[in-house]
Structure 1
């Protein structure tokens, strides 16, 4: 059986010369062909600088950047001028957190609430602020891998300047109750930051809540190119969020992110955003079907899901099989599917997952955790081959 991919014609047959089916979309997704075509056009034909005002090339580039702002903004019901282009969600997270430090110090509000299961792009900047004297509260997740809105509400203080909670966990796929947290913050002035790297273009409604002040976006998680992302900075009335830039020089992006705009990458992010919004319903239907087929195939092996399945996004499944080590599983599956056992950003450390450990899972279950994630371009999963290979290891 050949598993079709609209992007790279992968095969599920162990003996096929084709590469294994790529199932590590939470690390990065293949570039959507329509996106790649536009990126190439702006690399080779419409190559102008969006800051050049004296000729057609610059004007064309500027118009495409403006249209991309609108395409990104539409996904989260923001305004185009609230979109700041960055190199990716990591930079956006840093700008949101470290960029707020000066305001926090001036006002004396130096308390920040976040969670133990955030991406390192959030946890490490928070650690820097903690070293500078900020009081950082990291909330523990419930057993199912999500942080309750009640816990956030209980942790709020008069001097809380920011609440930062991811929308979807990158390791487990568990959806955090962003809408409920936003409601808990209605009457509190704290700035609400959401790391939406794994949710943007996939989880639509919760990200449109106007109570979300700052929202981090990654292009390469939704079929856009690597090296591009955005920070959505919603106004409160007529007031902008008081961020200070991390770099200086040039004044681009309202002075928050200077440097010549990468028009090809921005165009790619815009197109990827527009496609994700237009095709969201079909993508969700396919993803749910794939997840259900994988769960059914793994059930006879005694697989347990790491994270509340009722709260998990349809494009991710993190599971453990009793007695099975994740490294052995990945090796056994390497010519069938390419999968992961944790965050690609920290995989070189070979440390137990801080996300799964925070959720209270046993050491054996954490060591056996395998993450499979998929997206557009994957229409079938080689579930029989996956189950067969894993069964040999039990």
Structure 2
């Protein structure tokens, strides 16, 4: 069986998370919207407990956590949910960056179609946007700034602390897509200037199908979001539908473990990273994204002369990896992230993304390098 090295696409589930989710599937299956009996009361208590666990990771309040189906829905709720208020107030300018996930770029394009003016900040060869360019672009009518925390393709963390300082005296809402960094890079998301944080359970060893939008209050009030769906009034009227208690409980457990085991996990990833870097250095690989800003569990490299699809196919019995975002890998389109970094198409076509975790077993790197060497043209 191939060793799984695609944790940025989705992570394995922690055993205690799976056990807790199974309990709420099989035994404690009550509906939290029916607190008229013990089943419903216990389900509601489980949901609120998980809400507090998730809030704690980003130093937020439990009532600022709105459950969604994942980070994609949370991003859409944050970006599109602010549109009506922003338009009414005459603030029709939004800012994002060129390396955002499609779950941010496409809602921004929809806002542009609706009449908003969109500014897309470029990034440098290091994979980061320049905060000075953000400061220069910011206007009195800027309603929303959307920046990711960690890039899903390169693992490069963005300058959130500098962004917070720039936005300190401005009224724009600040949204952060934290799907890849939540629970893995703690301090940046705890900055109270961030208004909206999108997170996903299956990126931190929790279940698929559950995420949250953390909406921090200003002056005691949530950001003026409008719901995207209607019917039921759950989640403070912003996300209707019966709450998936097994998924929520599992997500809460995963958040608790992410906070508790943060340093041990990072150290395990650093140790594994040293092996990965050594193996690919022997092949003359070029790293995409600045090593200084890359989280310890991700590596994006290009292997000169070896197309990524050929490498992935040849390695499929040894390691399972990818070349781009899981959400766009089926399209076979060039990576917009690598293109934004100024990486030539021929190098981007040879790029591989490896992502691992504290649960990843050992890899036979000698076998990996032998396979890849055989793919090189003689």
Paired with 1:69 and 1:327, the residues of 2 have a C-alpha distance of 41
**Residue 143 of structure 1 corresponds to which residue in structure 2?**
125
TM-superposed CA distance for 1:330, in Å, is 0.6
Give the conservation status (yes or no) of the 8 Å contact 2:46–2:245. Answer: yes
TM-superposed CA distance for 1:183, in Å, is 1.1
Paired with 1:375 and 1:155, the residues of 2 have a C-alpha distance of 37
TM-superposed CA distance for 1:382, in Å, is 2.7
**Residue 157 of structure 2 corresponds to which residue in structure 1?**
175
TM-superposed CA distance for 1:372, in Å, is 0.4
TM-superposed CA distance for 1:357, in Å, is 0.5
Paired with 1:110 and 1:248, the residues of 2 have a C-alpha distance of 25
**Residue 156 of structure 1 corresponds to which residue in structure 2?**
138
TM-superposed CA distance for 1:237, in Å, is 2.6
Paired with 1:188 and 1:102, the residues of 2 have a C-alpha distance of 20
Tell me if 1:134 matches 2:116: yes
**Residue 197 of structure 2 corresponds to which residue in structure 1?**
215
Q: For 1:248, which of 225, 230, 248 is the aligned residue?
A: 230
Q: For 2:339, which of 328, 349, 357 is the aligned residue?
A: 357
Give the conservation status (yes or no) of the 8 Å contact 1:84–1:232. Answer: yes
Paired with 2:57 and 2:249, the residues of 1 have a C-alpha distance of 15
Q: For 2:217, which of 229, 235, 259 is the aligned residue?
A: 235
1:176-218: CA deviations, max 9, x gaps? 1111111110011110100000000101011100000000000
Q: For 1:316, which of 276, 282, 298 is the aligned residue?
A: 298
Give the conservation status (yes or no) of the 8 Å contact 1:186–1:211. Answer: yes
In structure 1, runs of 5+ residues without a counterpart are 1-18
Paired with 1:336 and 1:300, the residues of 2 have a C-alpha distance of 18
Paired with 1:376 and 1:70, the residues of 2 have a C-alpha distance of 25
**Residue 100 of structure 1 corresponds to which residue in structure 2?**
82
Q: For 1:389, which of 344, 360, 371 is the aligned residue?
A: 371
Tell me if 1:335 matches 2:335: no
Q: How many residues align?
A: 376
Paired with 1:182 and 1:290, the residues of 2 have a C-alpha distance of 32
TM-superposed CA distance for 1:379, in Å, is 4.2
TM-superposed CA distance for 1:373, in Å, is 0.4
1:165 aligned counterpart, secondary structure:
strand
| Equivalent residue runs for 1:76-87 within 5 Å | 76-87=58-69
Provide TM-score, normalisation by structure 2. 0.98
- CA RMSD of superposed structures (Å): 0.8
**Residue 262 of structure 1 corresponds to which residue in structure 2?**
244
Paired with 2:148 and 2:363, the residues of 1 have a C-alpha distance of 28
**Residue 40 of structure 1 corresponds to which residue in structure 2?**
22
Larger deviation, residues 84-93 vs 146-155: 146-155
Give the conservation status (yes or no) of the 8 Å contact 1:286–1:379. Answer: no
Tell me if 1:74 matches 2:38: no
Q: For 1:301, which of 266, 283, 296 is the aligned residue?
A: 283
Give the conservation status (yes or no) of the 8 Å contact 2:164–2:193. Answer: yes
TM-superposed CA distance for 1:380, in Å, is 2.7
1:301 aligned counterpart, secondary structure:
coil
2:236 aligned counterpart, secondary structure:
helix
**Residue 354 of structure 2 corresponds to which residue in structure 1?**
372
In structure 2, runs of 5+ residues without a counterpart are none
**Residue 11 of structure 1 corresponds to which residue in structure 2?**
none
Give the conservation status (yes or no) of the 8 Å contact 1:167–1:176. Answer: yes
1:255 aligned counterpart, secondary structure:
coil
1:324-350: CA deviations, max 9, x gaps? 111111111110000001011011111
1:338-393: CA deviations, max 9, x gaps? 00010110111111000000110011110000000011311433322222211222
Paired with 1:249 and 1:31, the residues of 2 have a C-alpha distance of 32
Give the conservation status (yes or no) of the 8 Å contact 1:294–1:381. Answer: no
